[in-house]
Structure 1
Amino acid sequence: MWQRDFAGHTFMSYQYQAPNAQPGIVNERFGMIDVTVAFQTDRDRLVLEPMAWAFGPLPLPKALLPTGQSFETQIDDRFVFDVEIAMPWVGQIATYRGWLLPTE
């Protein structure tokens, strides 16, 4: 489970690897929406590239697939993430940046 907190408003998703998925391919579930994402390396970053999506068991059109520049990296001792989510004909839906620190 991946939980985000935006000024007291929480948002959760679940990341998992589907059965028979290729290495580097994961799914992230947001309620009834399931997005298939490929992780690709770009220099010192791990770039998240949306590949497909579905509403429950129903595949949704790839032409409407949310896009955006999203990546993860490490800076010093921090896990840093930068996420942009946009949709065709709608525009930007969300942008957030942050970091995690290791627990002791």
Structure 2
Amino acid sequence: MRIKMGRLAALYLVLAMLLSLFTACISPSTEVTSYPIEITDQLGRVVKLDRMPQRIISLAPSNTEILFALGLADRVVAVTNLCDYPPEAKEKPSIGGFTTTNIEKVIALSPG
């Protein structure tokens, strides 16, 4: 009985490994977003974007990491003083902290 349970467990393990192998091989979606697009923000307001943003100011370290990971570092024009990863983010101008954002500097950088 113990041998049968061991074989059954081994079979489940092999099936799980095969399933994870096949799901890892699925290619990601290459769907292209067409503009203009409308997005609803957290306050329920509809924001219309006529084109992909070209000048981005990141207001959170997590957003900075995502933007750099997506290959959009060239579009990031400023970050907060807490954005230190990836190391290249420290080379971008700082607009202050999350609660001490320099609004005049944000306006001068013309995000959009």
TM over 0.5: no
Larger radius of gyration: 2
More strand per residue: 1
TM-score, normalised by the number of residues in structure 1: 0.25
More helix per residue: 2
TM-score, normalised by the number of residues in structure 2: 0.24
